[in-house]
Structures are given as structure tokens and as C-alpha cells.
Structure 1
Amino acid sequence: MRTTINKIETLTFLILFIVASIGCNSKNKDKESIKNTQRVTSQNVLSAVIDSINSEINDGDYGLIDRFMVIQNDELLADYKYEQDYETIVQKYDTTNHQYNFNNTDWHPYYKKSELHTLQSVTKSITSILLGIALDLNGDYNVSNKAMPLLTGYDIDFLDKRKQNISIEDLLTMRSGLQWNEETDHNDNTNDSFLLESSDNWIAYVLSKPMDTIPGTRFVYNGGGTVLLGKIVRTITGKRIDDWAEEKLFKPLGITDYYWKETPDGEIDTEGGLYLKAEDLAKIGSLFLNNGKWNDNQIVSESWVTTSTSPQIKDVKPEWRSNMGYGYQWWIPEYTFDGKTSIYAGNGYGGQYLMIAPEYNLIIVFNGWNINDEPEKSTWRVLQDRIIPTLKNK
């Protein structure tokens, strides 16, 4: 009798278990179905606004655009290439064959007729990643370290003691305290970026600049500081930053085609000299969306990604837009009242943008070359003014 009861109890349990499992599977399938529906709805809504932006680019509203990509949830939603006749466009400008003449078509916007596009100051954001990897792997250094002991071999004037107090973090956040003018036209011969790129020794040029404020107190956009960061990477790792990038960033991400400008003193132009294909720039965005992971490999620490893309400084460019922040060589176009990042971006001269909206798992890439004329509309505003409002109202 007990054996029969045990069999019945066992059978009842199995039936209940199967029913429960079916119910769970059904619920899981329902949840997955809802997610898929939401994803498709989001993409359908995006499709219309993407088509509109593409049409406006073709109509010339955004000036000279070379590439427009949209990636959401690891899916490529748009990838438009635009052909521009730069050879004809630049005929009225000086085209001296020099890598820092921005109207020379051997160098800009593409490198030597290849698909490698100048990134300009998006290079700074990638320099920051490479520094982050170096600090992750070398526990003797951190962002609080003073910069000058890592920049030996140069004739540095230390009469102003403030220069000795510049930290790595001060350089990362553009608060070095060095006197620097990068706000005027790039061809203005008082512009420090112009003077830097005309000099024979870039690091010596930056280090020769006098101090005008206490380090860590005031934001002044300064590409020279990023040049120093590139040298600091070399000091920490023992490798020039292009070799370090190849080993620790590009090779793991499968980036095989790239170009760096080399400075006259044998260093690398880390403030604006990197060329990548747009699809490889998008890989950098994907790396950061995944908190520094690529194929389950932690390339750069999650903490570095979070800190780099958080507003270490708020309202840095109120004349551009209120609520504009700056992290570790990343712009923060939008953040919440409590400092949580809504959008972060690499931003480069001429219209090079890598824009990331974590909440929407969204990456936008733009390449362009608007250096001589101001277009009617700015691609810098596309994510904030066109795409995100569309997603919010879907």
C-alpha cells in the first residue's frame, strides 16, 4: 500500500513540476517576447528619424559629412557613406603638403586616399583609455601622481612652484593651470595648438608654458596636456603609445588598420593624430558600453570607464550649452542633477563624433570635415535633439 502511495506522490510531484516548468518557460518566453517587441518598436521609431537625418545630410544641411552610423543593442541600424569631392573643394585653399595643413587632401580628412579618417580630438578620448589601461596594469601609479617626475629629460622652469603640483588627473580634466590659448581659429598664430604643431619638440613646448592658475582649479581646453599624457604612458609602460595601443587595445578589438601621426621629436600626436575607420571607432563605443569588456575580456577596468565618462567638472562650456560636463578626456553633453551621465562623447575638429547613450544602449558615429564653412545644422546636436527625444516619445 505504501509503495502505491509513494508512486502516486512521485507522479503527482512530477506532474506539478512539469506544469510549473511550462509556466516558467511560458513566462520567460513572454518576457523575451516583450523585450523583442520593445526592441523592434524602438528600431522602427528610430528608422524614421534616421531616414530624415540622412535625407538632410544629402541635401547639404549638415555640410560635409563622410559617414553616419547608428548602432543600438549591438545591431547596426544605419551606416551611410557620403562621397565628397575634397580635391575640388580645397582648390581655393593652401594645400601645402604638410600633415597639419587641414586642407591637404593627402592628410585630411582621409589618410592617403584610404578609408582611415582623421579623428582629431577624439584621439584624446582614446589616449585616456590607453592611460587607463597603463594605470590598471601598473599599481605603482594612479591619477594622483604628480606629472613632472614622469616627464624627465626636459629643461623645465620650476621657478613657479605650481608647475610641480600638476597631477595626472589635472591633465586628464584640462585643469593643469598652464597658460594656454586654444579658443581662437586654429590658423591664428597666437593659438597654442597652431604653435605646438609648428614646433620641433612638442613636449618641450608644452612644458615651457608659464602657469596662470593653481592646478586643479580651472578648466582650460588644452591639447598640450594630452601630449604630456601620451609621454606619461610611455614612462609608465616603457612603450611608445602607438605600440601600447597595438598590444593592449587595437589587437584585442580586432583593429588592424590605423595610422598615428608622429611628431618631429619622435613621439606620437596623442591630442589629434589618430586615424581609424568609422566601424573601428564604433568598436571603442561598444567597449565602453560594455564597461570595458570585449568578448568577455576586461580590456580596461570598469572603474576607469565609469570615472572617465562621469562629469568630473560641470558646466565647463556654458556658452555652448548649460549642463555640459567633462570627464577624463570625454565630453559629457548631458547628465542628471545628481551627476549621472546620460550621454558622453568624443568630440573632434571638423565633425568627428563618437556619441554614447548608455540608457538606450546606443552608439552614434559621425565623420565629417566642416572646417571652412559653418553648416546650417550640427551633427553634434543630432543625438540630443533628434534621436533621444524620438526614443523618449515612442
Structure 2
Amino acid sequence: MKAILTATRKRLFLILLIATLIGCNSKNKNSILDIQKTTSQKVFSAVIDSINLEINNGDYGLVDRFMIIQNDSVLADFKYKQDYETIVKKYDTTNHQYNFNNTDWHPYYKNSELHTLQSVTKSITSILLGIALDLNKEYNVSSKAMPLIIGNNITLKDEHKQNISIEDLLTMRSGLQWNEETDHNDTTNDCFRLESSDNWIDYVLSKPMEATPGTKFVYNGGATVLLGKIVRTITNKRIDLWAEEKLFKPLGITDYYWKETPDGEIDTEGGLYLKAEDLAKIGSLLLNKGKWNDTQIVSESWVTTSTSPILKDVKPKWRRDMGYGYQWWIPEYSVDGKTRIYAGNGYGGQYLMMAPVHNLIIVFNGWNINSEPKKSTWSVLQDRILPALKIK
């Protein structure tokens, strides 16, 4: 009997010992995790402070706003005051809306907090088209574009244009001849010529074909102008009114401005002005797969496809190789095509960048149009922030 009791006591002792060791080990693990988390936060904070210091030192040129939002919490929000009135005195300030050195329009709209988004407008146009297609199943990205732009009763001289699909326009593979990679003030630049024309849609459609639709990537702001017209045809509303009803109002965005083109359309390739806080809402909408306060604003499938590298290894002259979706740039993606970063990218330093793995949003507004800064804010997320968070 004593032998049995002794054996039982030994087993109980061993069980208690193991439990104690496990408990201690668990505490040690938690302690280590807490230390690692605190260290990571300190490193992250130090990197943010370093970027802010470098912006103040002028390393990134003219930056107006820098925000970081993670898990719906604002981790950084810096505003920078630039004396644009003095800066532009050395440049042409002809008084018309498309002069980028006219401080009535750029970078802030008439001294308000509304900042030009430039080509980030294209990315928002994509969202608005997605909503239109979600609500009208008669059309999809495979639908031919021309009947939605000029109607079915007009015959184009170049029949190849009839084969351009909505998706070809979304992915900058229209096949239209277009040059937008020179300086914006270059009079041979098609964007310069577009914005100088009286009828933007006619200008885009007048361009000859140089490739079969869907085969060749050529960055083309004119393609996004055509997308704006398609939204109007599908919805029977000009895109600014469609945006107000279906995107801005649900997101609580009440202050914004769109540039109107001479022919009464809306500049969907670069004419939207928003506050940085409201631009961040667009990022939050996408990170939440198209939902806002439990309401599906744009379908999850549209968000996923738009922000996926449909095209890989795109080689724009002004950036490193990257992917491209539906009017969204994909600076970093995995071998299997999973998006790690996607972004809207606008002239002068307008960036809305998202890292979905870390539920992270970065907003930059700037106005580097007359000189090249030492460092680019475009590289901040990929080269500075994510390494600090150990996101690969």
C-alpha cells in the first residue's frame, strides 16, 4: 500500500512540476513577445520620426501632408507649410486652370484644404466604374468600349478601335498611340495636348492605333477620360454626381472638387481634389474589401481584381518595375501574384499606398513639379516603413 501511495505521490509531483514549468515557459514567452512588440513599436516610431525630420530638412522636396493609418488608428499626421506664392514667382503663372504653377488651383484648390490628387483620380475613377458595373449587369469589363462612348450608330474609320474593351482601357492596353512619359510641359506630350484641347474625348479618339487592343501597356490618361464617359453612359449620370451619390456620401466625404473639361465632361484622369483625411477613407474602404460601416459600397471582387497585378513587370520610365491592375499600381507582389502593396500614384507626389497584410495606409500630398528631390516619398512605404515592420 505504501508503495502504491509513494508512486502516486511521485506522479502527482511530476504533473505539478510539468505544469509549473509550462506555466513559467508561457510567462517567458509572453514576456519575450511583449519585449519584441515594444521594440518593434520603438523602431517603427523612430523610422516615422526620421522620415518627418528628413521632410522638414527638404530631402523629399515639397511635401504638404504625410499620414500613416494602421488598423483605423492614425499613427502619424504631419502637415507642412510651403510658401508656394514665392516658389512659383520664378515660373510661368499664366492664369488658367491647367497651369500647374497657378496657386489658385495647385496644389490646393483656391487656398482650401482640398489638395490636387492628379492621377490618383484615375484609381478613384476605377472604383466608380466598379460600382456602376456592380449595379448594372448588362455590362462587364469584357464589353466593347466604343458603343458606350460614341454610340452604336457611328462607324469608326479604324475598325481596330471597335475591339477595345473596357478592361483594355482599365489596364492601359487600349492600343491607342499615346506619349505621356515626357515632361508634362512638353508640347508633344499627349496629356499636355489633351488638356489644351476643347473636346477631350474627340482628342483621344482621334489618336491612331499602334497595337492590337489588350496586347501592349502604354500609360494613357486619355483612356481614363473614356472610362469617365462610360460611367456616364451606364449610369445616366455625370461621374461627379455618381461619385457624390455612390461613394462620397456613404463615406461621409462632403468637401471635394472636380475639374470640368471644356466639353462639359469631368476630368477623370487627374481633376479630383480631396482632403488627405478623405483620401485615407478611400484607402480604408479598399482594405475593408469594399465595405464601409457594414455596407458594401463596391464589390469585394472588384477591389480584389483592381488591386491585383493583372499586368506584371510593367516598366514605366519614371518608376521601378511593378504590376498594374485596374488603374492601381502594384509596387510589390509575390511570385504567385499575391499583392503586398498597391497604390494610387499622382503627379507631383500624390500617393495613396496600402499594405493589406498589415492593414496599413499611407497618404502623401506634395508638389514636386519643378525640380527632382533628393528622395522620393513614393519609396517610403516599400523601403522604410515595411522593413521596420519586418513585412516581406
Shared fold per TM-score greater than 0.5: yes
Which of 46, 53, 56 in structure 1 is aligned with 2:51?
53
What is the Cα deviation at residue 296 of structure 1?
0.5
Equivalence for 1:191: 189
Residues 34-45 of structure 1: pairs in structure 2 closer than 5 A: 42-45=40-43
Equivalence for 2:109: 111
3-state DSSP class of the match of 2:263? coil
What is the Cα deviation at residue 45 of structure 1?
2.8
- For 2:54 and 2:153, the matched residues in 1 are separated by 52
What is the Cα deviation at residue 80 of structure 1?
0.2
- For 1:303 and 1:327, the matched residues in 2 are separated by 13
Which of 358, 371, 381 in structure 2 is aligned with 1:373?
371
Is the CA contact (8 Å cut-off) linking 1:156 and 1:208 kept in structure 2?
Answer: no
What is the Cα deviation at residue 44 of structure 1?
3.3
Equivalence for 1:357: 355
Is the CA contact (8 Å cut-off) linking 1:155 and 1:204 kept in structure 2?
Answer: no
Is the CA contact (8 Å cut-off) linking 2:181 and 2:317 kept in structure 1?
Answer: no
Distance 1:205 1:59, change over 3 A: same
3-state DSSP class of the match of 1:334? strand
RMSD: 2.2
Distance 1:307 1:393, change over 3 A: closer
Equivalence for 1:314: 312
Unaligned runs of 5+ in 2: 1-29
**1:390 lines up with 2:374 in the alignment:** no
3-state DSSP class of the match of 1:112? helix
**1:87 lines up with 2:85 in the alignment:** yes
- Percent sequence identity is 83
Residues 258-337 of structure 1: pairs in structure 2 closer than 5 A: 258-317=256-315, 323-337=321-335
What is the Cα deviation at residue 180 of structure 1?
0.5
Stretch of structure 1 that moved more, 114-123 or 153-162 = 153-162
What is the Cα deviation at residue 161 of structure 1?
1.6
**1:212 lines up with 2:192 in the alignment:** no
Equivalence for 2:74: 76
Is the CA contact (8 Å cut-off) linking 1:156 and 1:207 kept in structure 2?
Answer: no
**Number of residue pairs the alignment of both structures matches:** 366
- For 1:284 and 1:39, the matched residues in 2 are separated by 29
3-state DSSP class of the match of 1:252? helix
Stretch of structure 1 that moved more, 35-44 or 334-343 = 35-44
Distance 1:35 1:281, change over 3 A: farther
- For 2:40 and 2:33, the matched residues in 1 are separated by 10
Equivalence for 1:124: 122
3-state DSSP class of the match of 2:313? coil
- For 1:36 and 1:293, the matched residues in 2 are separated by 32
- For 1:153 and 1:321, the matched residues in 2 are separated by 37
TM-score by length of 2: 0.89
- For 1:300 and 1:35, the matched residues in 2 are separated by 38
Which of 224, 228, 236 in structure 1 is aligned with 2:234?
236
What is the Cα deviation at residue 43 of structure 1?
3.8
What is the Cα deviation at residue 157 of structure 1?
6.5
3-state DSSP class of the match of 2:362? strand
TM-score by length of 1: 0.89
Amino acid at match of 1:289: L
- For 2:190 and 2:321, the matched residues in 1 are separated by 27
